[in-house]
Structure 1
Amino acid sequence: MGLNNKLKELEENNKHIKVALVGAGLMGKGLVSQMMLVKGMVPSLVVSNKVSDAIEAYTLAGISKDDIVVAKTLNEINIAMEKNKYVATDITEYGTKGNLVDVVVDATGVPNTGAKIARDAISNKKHIVMLNVEADIVVGPILNKLAKESGVVYTGTAGDEPGSVKEIFDFAEATGFEVLAIGKGKNNPIDYNATPDSVRETALKSKLNPKKLASFVDGTNTMVEMAAMANSTGFIPDIRGGYGPTTIVDDLPTIYSLKENGGLLDKYKIVDYAHGIAPGVFVVVTTSLPQVHHEMQFLKMGTGPNYVLYRPYHLTSLETPISIARAYLYNEPTIAPKYNKLVAEVITMAKKDLKAGERLDGMGEYTILGSIDTYEVAKKENLVPIGLIDNNTIVKKDIKKGEFITYDMVELDKNTEIYKLRQEQEGKEKPWV
């Protein structure tokens, strides 16, 4: 990879890409450790609500506490970075403002927080790498547009399933294959009733936030990742929520064929997920030329006419340095929305019966979960994107468990950054100005 040589050149010249990370949970801590092993890159600033987590991210990476500066002001951050110290702070807004910061990484996983971090990074002419797919699937197109206008890169991350799928998708298209379907594996059956309480013990064993694990188990995370794949490629779900078959890798080309050919699909150019192949990701391809079919069969890629390109792993934040380097060195994203509007939407379903006057919460919590559909269907049916709902959202009328939530059913918090960006993305007036 050209990136490898470029990073080595930086190191040899005693130059480094200075990275600010916001969010020091499981993924953030892993990224800090991994960056310490990457040539030409340094985790200069770590921001966390609990400054102790930021400090721990550094010490887990082998950094002495003597080399860590806990900063309370932007001036302290700038001075410490000039002295090549590692900086920890609990003030989120400073993550995007350090003078020497080249690239900001958002690993918070909170939609509104991610939207604000991204917009601030772009305003401050910093490249922004989003581990926060939850924000991207709501306001990614407008953030990408703003980044281009500012001459910086807005990108999702290598290593997360959407980024891993996009890498295979780009490879397939660049080599001349026709891409028919894209998707990811899911580890466990969907449990629509999963809450932080029901998964807490398992989550804590893995040092994972119970809300995060609950969003995996109730399927919301899968829908979010599929939406990011859709928005970056133009592919759409064939049905609401996807099919989610249980299969093995060798059967993917048959399953993701049209119904008349023994498969599941009504159409091609779709995104889906499958049980039994996790943690892998896949792209189903075909070709119009007989000689290419002959060579694919000679190469033991199956009998055709469809073939699967499968990657059996994705290393989440441990691969994020690739996206940081691509943004900084080549000014290009790993994965970003293809258009200035969404292709797919993650819509909101009631996880339980909800009463008028009740407050909602967020992904992986107690009141809501997500499902995927096309943006056009969501707009036509007035369905609320899950990333706009938070604990300031108030139910206006009773909603049954399993019912999809429309805008007239709830009162959204219109003061959030993500709501304002969404209005801008939709081309609506800016009532907050």
Structure 2
Amino acid sequence: MNLFSMMNKRAEDGNPIRIGMIGAGKFGTMFLSQVRKLAGIHLIGVADLSPASARSNMEFVGWTGEQFGAVSLDAAAQTGTTHVGDDWQALVAHPAIDIVIECTGAPVAAIDHILGAFGHGKHVINVTVEADAFCGYALARKAEEARVIYSMAYGDQPALTCDLVDWARSCGFNVTAAGRGHKWLPEFRKSTPETVWDHWGVSREKAERGRLNPKMFNSFLDGSKPAIESSAIANATGLLVPANGLQFPVGGAEDLANIMRPVSEGGALEQKGMVEVASSLTLEGEPVPYDVRQGVWVVFEGETEYLRNCFQEYLVRTDDSGRYSSLYKRWHLIGLELPVSVASVGLRGEPTGVARCFNGDVAAIAKRDLAAGEILDGEGGYTVTGGLRPAQASVAAGYLPLGLAHNVKLKHAIADGEPVRFEDVEIDETTTAYKLRKWMETLS
């Protein structure tokens, strides 16, 4: 409850939190709109493959040319301005920068960026949850070795869900389930970047106005991002994942306590202590009332008569048995909330969520019949979607993580709905991302 006053004190002392950011796409631009208003944070540098696009996005959200016109990182550090360039290695190596925000959305490249930052003693806030989903536990271990902090990004649903889980456990409650919401119908699994705006709920005109990336947004719609984020939640909280993937039980915010309980008690869970995603659409495609599509939630248990009586006495909304209740946030504000992570890491030395185990994995699942020789195009594309699986089963079966299913060629045909395996693709085994993943598999 003191982050804002602590940031102000750093500003008054002339000692702001000094950060650099790699990638200035949608999430990064949302952060840029807010950080310019926080005197306790100094964004020294932005590195992007297209500096011109980064500058355009900064102007788009209110930055002036003078604010981001520093000719070098050194000049930015000395004058309180920001340098925009394309050299991420120079950015992570710069001595004035304490925290690096990885914000590219490119999981293979993100691994290089994150480990590079660790090598220079920088803390990292990882917005690219796709990277965290397939090797977050390994990144956390590497951060420990480097004696730096590795953190999820507050504002994204995984970190917000972890916050709710931590609240429940810190209160002494047993967590029955936790997760996020989603607009889901089974046929959305087939969606492509060409069809996403037909189903998402935003017109093509508004999508273009907001500079929205159709492939990225399609990764949400086709189920890839819910799987990715659920994996990240499971690995940060220790919650389990469904044996056969997310079930997307239907229900609104006030239905969570009923639907997110074990099947044996009338709910949708295989057992207590799992991640899941609540669908905001019925199977007929009708919206549910008071949905939690853009939000996060936790369901917790009143396992004693005393706790259940307290629920009644204080008019707590519960399931029909009076045993389970929930807490939720109906909205998440994505990059607009990212300053919370910067403040938490920079002022408290505390991550806003970090992988502590390897419970969940996201396998690349064929979106249609795929022929040998085709090139996989990763999450949100035309070839594969993400399927959440227990990590132990995924590793044992040799499933290809969705995060590594980028620009790799198929050696074998894969039927629609079937998982892709490492043995099915031509993959560069010399990349840092591949080697880190294989190292993580040995840890578990």
- Give TM-score, length-normalised by structure 1: 0.93
Post-superposition shift, 1:358?
2.1
- Aligned runs of 1:101-120 on 2, under 5 Å? 101-120=97-116
- Among residues 368, 371, 386, which one is paired with 2:402 in the alignment? 386
Q: Alignment RMSD, CA only?
A: 1.7
- Aligned runs of 1:180-329 on 2, under 5 Å? 180-190=176-186, 191-199=188-196, 201=204, 203-276=207-280, 277-303=292-318, 304-329=322-347
* AA matched with 1:107: C
Asked if structure 1 preserves the Cα contact closer than 8 Å seen for 2:253 and 2:330, the reply is no
Post-superposition shift, 1:257?
1.9
- Structure 2 counterpart of 1:11: 11
Asked if structure 1 preserves the Cα contact closer than 8 Å seen for 2:23 and 2:48, the reply is yes
**CA deviation profile, 1:131-189 (whole Å, cap 9, x unmatched):** 11000111111211111222211000111111111001001000111111011100343
* AA matched with 1:157: A
Asked if structure 2 preserves the Cα contact closer than 8 Å seen for 1:369 and 1:386, the reply is yes
- Structure 1 counterpart of 2:355: 337
Post-superposition shift, 1:323?
0.8
3-state SS, counterpart of residue 181 of structure 1: strand
**CA deviation profile, 1:350-388 (whole Å, cap 9, x unmatched):** 112222222222111111111101001112222111111
**CA deviation profile, 1:73-117 (whole Å, cap 9, x unmatched):** xxx322332232211012232331222111111111111111111
Once residues 102 and 57 of structure 1 are traced to their aligned partners in structure 2, the CA distance between those partners, rounded to angstroms, is: 24
Asked if structure 1 preserves the Cα contact closer than 8 Å seen for 2:161 and 2:233, the reply is yes
* AA matched with 1:378: S
- Among residues 125, 128, 150, which one is paired with 1:129 in the alignment? 125
* AA matched with 2:304: L
Asked if structure 1 preserves the Cα contact closer than 8 Å seen for 2:140 and 2:356, the reply is no
Asked if structure 1 preserves the Cα contact closer than 8 Å seen for 2:45 and 2:76, the reply is no
- Among residues 363, 374, 384, which one is paired with 1:368 in the alignment? 384
- Among residues 415, 422, 425, which one is paired with 2:440 in the alignment? 425
**CA deviation profile, 1:20-74 (whole Å, cap 9, x unmatched):** 1111111111101111122411222112111112212432443321343365xxx
- Among residues 161, 168, 175, which one is paired with 2:171 in the alignment? 175
Please list every run of 5 or more consecutive structure 1 residues that lacks an aligned counterpart in the other structure: 429-433
Post-superposition shift, 1:290?
2.3
**CA deviation profile, 1:290-326 (whole Å, cap 9, x unmatched):** 2222222222222420001111111111111111111
Once residues 422 and 230 of structure 2 are traced to their aligned partners in structure 1, the CA distance between those partners, rounded to angstroms, is: 23
Name whichever of 296-305 and 168-177 sits farther off.
296-305
Name whichever of 88-97 and 382-391 sits farther off.
88-97
Please list every run of 5 or more consecutive structure 2 residues that lacks an aligned counterpart in the other structure: 198-203, 281-291
**CA deviation profile, 1:231-266 (whole Å, cap 9, x unmatched):** 001112224221102212222111122222211222
- Structure 1 counterpart of 2:142: 146
3-state SS, counterpart of residue 196 of structure 1: coil
Once residues 127 and 144 of structure 1 are traced to their aligned partners in structure 2, the CA distance between those partners, rounded to angstroms, is: 11
- Structure 1 counterpart of 2:431: 416
* AA matched with 1:317: G
Asked if structure 2 preserves the Cα contact closer than 8 Å seen for 1:28 and 1:57, the reply is no
**CA deviation profile, 1:321-365 (whole Å, cap 9, x unmatched):** 1111111112111111113xx110001111122222222221111
- Aligned runs of 1:70-85 on 2, under 5 Å? 71=71, 76-85=72-81
3-state SS, counterpart of residue 182 of structure 1: strand
Name whichever of 362-371 and 164-173 sits farther off.
362-371
Asked if structure 1 preserves the Cα contact closer than 8 Å seen for 2:43 and 2:81, the reply is no
* AA matched with 1:334: T
What is the number of equivalent residue pairs in this alignment?
421
Name whichever of 360-369 and 168-177 sits farther off.
360-369
- Give TM-score, length-normalised by structure 2: 0.91
Name whichever of 117-126 and 416-425 sits farther off.
416-425
Asked if structure 1 preserves the Cα contact closer than 8 Å seen for 2:395 and 2:441, the reply is no
Once residues 63 and 374 of structure 2 are traced to their aligned partners in structure 1, the CA distance between those partners, rounded to angstroms, is: 46
- Structure 2 counterpart of 1:53: 53
Post-superposition shift, 1:420?
1.8
Asked if structure 2 preserves the Cα contact closer than 8 Å seen for 1:70 and 1:89, the reply is no
Asked if structure 2 preserves the Cα contact closer than 8 Å seen for 1:122 and 1:150, the reply is yes
- Structure 2 counterpart of 1:431: none
- Structure 2 counterpart of 1:165: 161
Asked if structure 1 preserves the Cα contact closer than 8 Å seen for 2:249 and 2:268, the reply is no
**CA deviation profile, 1:179-213 (whole Å, cap 9, x unmatched):** 11011100343512211222363743442111101
- Structure 1 counterpart of 2:42: 42
Asked if structure 2 preserves the Cα contact closer than 8 Å seen for 1:138 and 1:387, the reply is yes
3-state SS, counterpart of residue 232 of structure 2: helix
Asked if structure 1 preserves the Cα contact closer than 8 Å seen for 2:365 and 2:419, the reply is yes
* AA matched with 2:41: M
Once residues 79 and 427 of structure 1 are traced to their aligned partners in structure 2, the CA distance between those partners, rounded to angstroms, is: 44
